[in-house]
Amino acid sequence: MKRLSCLLVLALVMSLSLGAHAAKVIEITYWTHTDDNRTAIENKYIAEFEKMYPDVKVKRVVNEASKMGDLVLTAFSANRGPDLFNLPIEQEYGYIMQNRVSPVDYAAIGYKNADALKADYMKGTFEAVTKGGKIYGLPLELTNWCIYINKKIFRSAGLDPEKDYPRTWEQMADISEKLVIRNGDIIMRRGFDFRYPYYLVSLLPMVEQLGGQLISDDGKKAIVNDQAWLKVLKFMKEWGPHGRNLGSPTYPAPRKIWNKDNNDMAMCLSGFYQQGRLRIDNPAFFDSKEWMVVPFPKFKDAVKDVACSYYGHFLMVNAQSSKDKQEMAWKLAQYMLSHPMEYLEVVNIIIPRKDMLSSKEFKANPYMDVFMGDMDRGHSVFLHENGYQFERFIGDAVQAVMLSNVSEQQALATLRQRIQEVLDEQ
Amino acid sequence: MRRTKRFSMEQKKARWGWIFVTPSLVFFAVFSFYPIFNAFYLSFFRKNLLSLKPPAFIGFGNYTYLFSSPLFKESVVNTAIFTFGTFVPLLVLSLILAAFIMSRKRFQKFYQMVLYSPAALSSVVAAMIWLLIFDPRGLANQGLNLLFSTSGVNYHWLSNDTMLRLSTIIVYVWKYVGYFTVIFVAGIGAIPNTLHEAALIDGADRWQDFWHITFPLLKPTTLLVSVMAMIQCLKTFSTQYLFTTAGAPRQPINVLTLNIYYTAIKDHSIGRASAMSVLLFLVMLVFTWLQLRLSRTEEVTYM
């Protein structure tokens, strides 16, 4: 009986110790968007990380990029957000403002403080994710857009791509007129077309070139410098079917069809990552050297030299996760991001770490000087808690002038009234 | 002495009835009733979807804002245009198609299946197919150019306000006409043959038989279909959402459900979106009540 009791006690102690061990396992949920190349390398890093920290299990969940914002938002609104996630900074900004993400744990990722972390990255990298002196995210990628040109199409229209590429928006319209092929009103080949939904990234800089702003510096007044806005809206109207009929938001996205080299898109606006996609979609065209990249144009009478805004995806940690999960999530983020060269070579995304940016291998990438030059000319995308709402209102104004033939003045008046209403409510 | 409780057959049936319906009731309570009550509750608050702060009570603030908001008025007008523009052709076409199917001696099931198949298709897939058709270089422009013997005319299916509204109506009618046709087929099938035979003996031709026998006796079905179609149209979302994300202007097709989505998910204003949902719910409730009332008064029995 005594022996049996001893055995029972021993079994109880063993099961308790096993239970305690099991409870120690930290499971980190990491939500990210689809990208097969990135999935391959990150799964490898996660396996290595789990070996380094045997008590940590990482669950990497991949979501469709277009649905990622809605999914993360609904999860956070139900207080069930992932421990680690990434989104475009325009979306992440709201999470910082609403205190839903935790500040970077500098000690966990091997830094003394925020300044030490900043010192390892390109200047201005953390501006978008800094609040009250604290940094809230680590950059997974920083992207800006330049103009990709199909040289063959230029030559077919009697243009020399090296000399005749557009430097100004006025030239862009004139060159597109030479490149466009129409069957009646229907455009069969476009010279260039815009990336319509992304008005804060690519259209607002055009307004800024002419001295305009979306909201005043004190954040109280909508639309600064009417003339700048009117000129850009007029330019867009001229671009559309009621003007010179050079393009429209209802044609397929230029970036997607440019890769096909099907003689239907001469120029498109895209980031460095386009090259990685081109290499996969159309290796023959990628290797042909029949394409080139040139800087984002500016207006002939621009008062400011502003390139396309850069935006980023930052890895962020849920402020509602337990402290040990937060610490491990930061460690995991830092471990993955400590391979910037592999992200560049395999995924074609730029993690703006100084050691990589200054390396020979980085500079040897095609047209990297163009992208980095425009990065210097540009600034981070406009950030505001209601940024998406503003972008939608700008989109409505552009579509009104381009597609519904509304006057620029009327479209601007509606835009101003809508944005002002949001600002006044705050 | 032990007393055994004896249940009557009715009580036993009722008990089993409760056992069978309880899972459905629980399901509805959790996934339908709770969100409905929550939406009513939230509509009286200002609440940012991301904020951890408790919602601020503002009474009817969201409702008064909506009644003075041009964007809300725009979406009400768009919803009304879409609903009436869709349900009339849906009703007429499905009735014609049902009459055609019932007039066939063979392949009735085949016709029903072919017409019904778009309803089984996901709304997203349907919208994607139609986006390709409405592309400036797509089949819609080619078809009209062939029909009118023109070349290169762009009918702006996705950009002109009227054409864009028409495009969304076409997609919806295409998708649901088969569904309502099947309901009409069932309605026509329920009319006893003896009535048609009597009419034919009295010298009525097929046309007279349809107008004076079939059509009046189909009144309850017609009412049911019209109210169902109207409610279905009020809930439209996927087509408009996918068209706007594909570059079509938002303003002409900014229906209530799309406005609710943008307000809640993109602008994080869940209180205001809830108020819009409540208003939409009330409109649909009126239509449902109307349907129940009319279907009761217009009931037809064949002795």
DSSP letter at A128 equals G
Q: Which residues pair with A224 in a beta bridge?
A: A213
The reply to whether residue B266 touches residue A251, judged by beta carbons under 8 angstroms, is no
Q: Which chain A residue is nearest to residue B244, measuring alpha carbons?
A: A250
Q: What angle do CA A96, A98, A99 make, to 5 degrees?
A: 65
Whether A18 shows a pLDDT value over 60: the answer reads no
- Closest-CA distance of chain A to residue B84, Å: 23
Label residue B300 by pLDDT band (50, 70, 90).
Answer: low
Q: Which chain A residue is nearest to residue B159, measuring alpha carbons?
A: A403
pLDDT at A6: 54
Whether B132 shows a pLDDT value over 60: the answer reads yes
Distances (CA, A) of B203 to A21, B79, B103: 90, 46, 18
Q: Which residues of A touch B270 (CB under 8 A)?
A: 77
Query: What percent of chain A has a predicted confidence (pLDDT) above 90?
Result: 83
Query: What percent of chain B has a predicted confidence (pLDDT) above 70?
Result: 95
Residue A283's contacts (CB-CB under 8 Å, 6 or more residues apart) are none
Residue B226's contacts (CB-CB under 8 Å, 6 or more residues apart) are B87, B91
Q: Which chain A residue is nearest to residue B243, measuring alpha carbons?
A: A250
Residue with tokens 């797509």: B138
pLDDT at A37: 87
Whether B125 shows a pLDDT value over 60: the answer reads yes
- Closest-CA distance of chain B to residue A388, Å: 7
**ipTM computed for the complex:** 0.82
Q: What is the mean pLDDT of residues A157-176?
A: 97
Whether B265 shows a pLDDT value over 60: the answer reads yes
Question: Cα separation of B272 and B265, whole Å?
Answer: 11
pLDDT at A151: 97
The reply to whether residue B136 touches residue A251, judged by beta carbons under 8 angstroms, is yes
Distances (CA, A) of B299 to A34, A261, B212, B223, B226: 55, 64, 17, 11, 16
The reply to whether residue B152 touches residue A252, judged by beta carbons under 8 angstroms, is no
Residue with tokens 């003394």: A112
Q: What is the mean pLDDT of residues B18-40?
A: 91
Q: Which residues pair with A315 in a beta bridge?
A: A86, A138
Whether B278 shows a pLDDT value over 80: the answer reads yes
A321 in reach of chain B (CB within 8 A): no
Q: What angle do CA B269, A88, A46 make, to 5 degrees?
A: 120
Six token digits for residue A79: 């207080």
Q: Which chain B residue is nearest to residue A188, measuring alpha carbons?
A: B137
Q: Which chain B residue is nearest to residue A80, measuring alpha carbons?
A: B50
Question: Cα separation of B242 and B171, whole Å?
Answer: 12
A311 three-class SS: strand
Distances (CA, A) of A321 to A144, A228, A317, B204: 32, 46, 8, 78
Per the prediction, chain A carries an average pLDDT of 92
Q: Which residues of A touch B250 (CB under 8 A)?
A: 392, 395-396, 399
A294 three-class SS: strand
A392 in reach of chain B (CB within 8 A): yes
DSSP string, chain B: -PPPP---HHHHHHHHHHHHHHHHHHHHIIIIIHHHHHHHHHTTEE-BTT--SPPEE-TTHHHHHHHH-HHHHHHHHHHHHHHHHHHHHHHHHHHHHHHHHHH-SS-HHHHHHHHHHHHHS-HHHHHHHHHHHHSTTSHHHHHHHHHTT-SS----TTTSHHHHHHHHHHHHHHHHHHHHHHHHHHHHHTS-HHHHHHHHHTT--HHHHIIIIIHHHTHHHHHHHHHHHHHHHHT--HHHHHHHHTT--SGGG--HHHHHHIIIIIS-BHHHHHHHHHHHHHHHHHHHHHHHHHHHHT-----
Q: A291-294 and A265-270: which strand pairing?
A: unpaired
pLDDT at B2: 54
pLDDT at B42: 95
Label residue A348 by pLDDT band (50, 70, 90).
Answer: confident
pLDDT at A8: 56
Q: Is A229 exposed, middle or buried (0-12, 13-18, 19+ CB in 10 A)?
A: buried
Q: Which residues of A touch B161 (CB under 8 A)?
A: 404
Q: Which residue has the higher pLDDT, A45 or A17?
A: A45
Whether A143 shows a pLDDT value over 60: the answer reads yes
Q: Which chain B residue is nearest to residue A71, measuring alpha carbons?
A: B265
Q: Which chain B residue is nearest to residue A264, measuring alpha carbons?
A: B137
The reply to whether residue A184 touches residue B262, judged by beta carbons under 8 angstroms, is no
- Closest-CA distance of chain A to residue B116, Å: 30
Whether A406 shows a pLDDT value over 90: the answer reads yes
* pLDDT tens, position by position, A308-327: 999 999 999 999 999 999 99
Q: Which residues pair with A339 in a beta bridge?
A: none
- Closest-CA distance of chain A to residue B16, Å: 36
The reply to whether residue A251 touches residue B135, judged by beta carbons under 8 angstroms, is yes
Q: Range with the lowest mean pLDDT among A213-222, B165-174, B189-198?
A: B189-198
The reply to whether residue B249 touches residue A392, judged by beta carbons under 8 angstroms, is no
Q: What is the mean pLDDT of residues B181-198?
A: 90
pLDDT at A65: 86
Q: What is the mean pLDDT of residues B124-137?
A: 90
Question: Cα separation of B131 and A23, whole Å?
Answer: 52
Q: Which residues pair with A210 in a beta bridge?
A: none
Q: Which residues of B touch A74 (CB under 8 A)?
A: 265
A19 in reach of chain B (CB within 8 A): no
The reply to whether residue B50 touches residue A184, judged by beta carbons under 8 angstroms, is no
The reply to whether residue B50 touches residue A187, judged by beta carbons under 8 angstroms, is no
Q: Which residue has the higher pLDDT, A186 or B12?
A: A186
Q: Are A181 and A187 in contact (CB under 8 A)?
A: yes
The reply to whether residue A184 touches residue B249, judged by beta carbons under 8 angstroms, is no
pLDDT at A224: 97
Question: Cα separation of A351 and A373, whole Å?
Answer: 16
DSSP string, A369-404: HHHHHHHHH--BPP--TTHHHHHHHHHHHHHHHHHS
Whether A15 shows a pLDDT value over 70: the answer reads no
Q: Which chain A residue is nearest to residue B142, measuring alpha carbons?
A: A186
* pLDDT tens, position by position, B33-91: 899 999 999 999 999 999 999 999 999 999 999 999 999 999 999 999 999 999 899 99
Question: Cα separation of A388 and A386, whole Å?
Answer: 6
Q: A138-143 and A311-317: which strand pairing?
A: antiparallel
Q: What angle do CA A167, A171, A173 make, to 5 degrees?
A: 130
Residue with tokens 């003689």: A263
Six token digits for residue B24: 């459905």
Q: Which residues of B touch A418 (CB under 8 A)?
A: 71
Compare CB distances from A98 to B52, B136, B266 and report the shortest one's residue. Answer: B52
Q: Which residues of B touch A388 (CB under 8 A)?
A: 266-267
Q: Which of B132, B167, B266, B269 to probe the A interface (max A CBs under 10 A)?
A: B266
Q: What is the mean pLDDT of residues B123-138?
A: 90
Maximum pairwise Cα distance, chain A: 101
Six token digits for residue A171: 């030239």
DSSP letter at A129 equals G
Query: What percent of chain B has a predicted confidence (pLDDT) above 90?
Result: 55
pLDDT at A11: 59
pLDDT at A35: 87
Residue with tokens 């056992």: B19
pLDDT at A4: 54
Q: What is the mean pLDDT of residues A171-184?
A: 96
pTM, two decimals, is: 0.85
Whether A277 shows a pLDDT value over 90: the answer reads no
Q: What is the mean pLDDT of residues A375-396?
A: 92
pLDDT at B32: 86
Residue from A148, A124, A162, A184 nearest A312 by CA: A124
The reply to whether residue B151 touches residue A249, judged by beta carbons under 8 angstroms, is no
Question: Cα separation of A32 and A64, whole Å?
Answer: 9
The reply to whether residue A185 touches residue B152, judged by beta carbons under 8 angstroms, is yes
pLDDT at A47: 97
Residue A333's contacts (CB-CB under 8 Å, 6 or more residues apart) are A84, A109, A138, A315, A317
The reply to whether residue A250 touches residue B248, judged by beta carbons under 8 angstroms, is yes
Cα B121–chain centre separation: 15
Whether B3 shows a pLDDT value over 60: the answer reads no
pLDDT at B302: 61
Q: Which residues of B touch A196 (CB under 8 A)?
A: 247
* pLDDT tens, position by position, B202-213: 888 888 888 888
Whether A96 shows a pLDDT value over 80: the answer reads yes
